[in-house]
């Protein structure tokens, strides 16, 4: 019966279905203008009890029961509880079992919003639990909903430094892995076909070949001109010696044409 009562208390506290139902709000409406009205005082007192019961109940349930409450919270659209349950699942192993609740500090954070900060001691370390609630009117009653549930374990300086070093190593390893992967991808580009590069190389080879052929043609033309000049000079010298304008036999050199050397030596 005791276990069932704890579970029932946890459900009622966690989902704020009937934790605080304040009646007669219209009668105390005149005092709402004060810094802390009668309703505010009642809400803060109830929040103190809610926070203590919630922290105690979370410590008594196992992961399977927590998963059930998590599903219920998701079905009801209680996002604050969903976030809180998930945080508790990942934090409880670093805390251990609950040893004591040291202090609970409550405050009003808005017109209809309140917050409690619980300082609790666990087996492995202390933890600060924050519980935020808000009230709304419905059918002449004030219904309270949980808007915040967070856990802040207190780690030592050595643990924080070790965690920071681990995060740095993981981050550097990730960066190096990404850089190596990018280098491998770039290295594979050489094996990919590149039609543009092949076309450019072919055009370059064609241009070099054309330039070589042009140079050969110019060189051959230059040699022909030199030969023609030598022959013309010889003819002019012959005419000067003989006093004639034409060589004997009436031969006239009109053109000179290079022919391939087909003479075979025996």
The three-class DSSP label of residue 140 is coil
Is the pLDDT assigned to residue 14 strictly greater than 70?
no
pLDDT of 20 reads 47
Q: Distance between CA 221 and CA 258 in Å, rounded?
A: 10
Tokens of 8: 């029932």
Which of 201, 189, 40, 41 lies closest to 110 in space, CA to CA? 40
Read off φ and ψ for residue 252, nearest 5 degrees.
-130, 130
Mean pLDDT of 228-242: 67
Looking at every residue in the chain, the average pLDDT score rounds to: 75
What residues does each domain of the chain span? 2-154, 160-190, 199-250
The pLDDT of residue 163: 76
Confidence of residue 257 (pLDDT cuts 50, 70, 90): low
DSSP 45-73: HHHHHHHHHHHHHHHHS-HHHHHHHHHHH
Note the residue count of the chain: 266
pTM: 0.54
Mean pLDDT of 45-64: 88
Predicted local confidence at residue 251, as pLDDT: 55
The Cα–Cα gap between 82 and 72 comes to 9
More confident position, 70 or 241: 70
**Burial track 4-13 (b if 16+ CB lie within 10 A, e otherwise):** eeebebbeeb
| pLDDT score of 32 | 42
pLDDT of residue 26: 38
- Contact between 116 and 48 under an 8 Å Cβ cutoff? The reply is yes
CA distances for 37 relative to 43, 49, 78, 116, 133, angstroms? 10, 19, 28, 18, 17
In order, the DSSP letters of 143-156 are: EEEEEEEEEEE---
Among 12-16, 46-50, 97-101, 205-209, which is the least confidently predicted range?
12-16
Q: Are the C-beta atoms of 16 and 148 separated by less than 8 Å?
A: no
Please report the pLDDT score of residue 225 as a whole number. Answer: 65
Top pLDDT among 223 and 3 is at 223
Tell me the helix, strand and coil percentages in the chain, rounded to 5.
60, 20, 20
Reading across the β-sheet that carries 113-122, which strands appear in turn?
21-22, 141-153, 126-138, 113-122, 98-108
Q: Which of 45-59, 132-146, 203-217 has the lowest mean pLDDT?
A: 203-217
The region that residue 228 occupies, defined by phi over 0 for left and psi between -120 and 50 for alpha, beta otherwise, is alpha
pLDDT at position 239, please? 67
CA distance 236 to 208: 42
More confident residue, 79 or 3: 79
- pLDDT band, very low/low/confident/very high, at 12 (cuts 50, 70, 90): very low
Residue 223: per-residue pLDDT? 61
CB atoms within 10 A of CB 209: 10
pLDDT in tens, 146-204: 889 999 998 877 777 877 888 888 888 888 888 888 888 887 777 776 667 667 777 77
pLDDT interval class at 22 (50, 70, 90): very low
């Amino acid at each position: 019966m005791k276990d069932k009562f704890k579970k029932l208390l946890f459900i009622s506290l966690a989902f704020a279905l009937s934790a605080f139902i304040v009646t007669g709000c219209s009668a105390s409406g005149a005092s709402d203008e004060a810094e802390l009205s009668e309703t505010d005082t009642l809400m803060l007192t109830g929040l103190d009890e809610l926070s203590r019961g919630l922290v105690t109940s979370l410590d008594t349930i196992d992961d399977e029961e927590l998963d059930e409450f998590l599903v219920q919270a998701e079905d009801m659209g209680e996002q604050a509880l969903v976030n809180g349950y998930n945080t508790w699942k990942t934090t409880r192993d670093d805390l251990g079992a609950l040893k004591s609740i040291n202090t609970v500090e409550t405050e009003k954070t808005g017109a209809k919003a309140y917050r409690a900060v619980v300082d609790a001691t666990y087996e492995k370390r202390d933890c600060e639990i924050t519980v935020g609630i808000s009230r709304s009117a419905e059918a002449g009653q004030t219904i309270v909903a949980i808007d915040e549930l967070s856990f802040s374990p207190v780690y030592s300086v050595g643990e924080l430094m070790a965690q920071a070093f681990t995060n740095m190593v993981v981050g550097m390893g990730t960066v190096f892995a990404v850089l190596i992967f990018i280098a491998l991808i770039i290295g594979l580009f050489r094996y990919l076909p590149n039609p543009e590069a092949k076309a450019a190389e072919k055009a370059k080879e064609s241009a070099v070949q054309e330039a070589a052929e042009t140079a050969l043609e110019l060189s051959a033309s230059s040699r022909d001109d030199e030969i023609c000049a030598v022959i013309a000079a010889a003819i002019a010298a012959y005419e000067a010696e003989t006093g004639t304008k034409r060589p004997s036999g009436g031969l006239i050199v009109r053109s000179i044409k290079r022919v391939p050397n087909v003479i075979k030596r025996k």
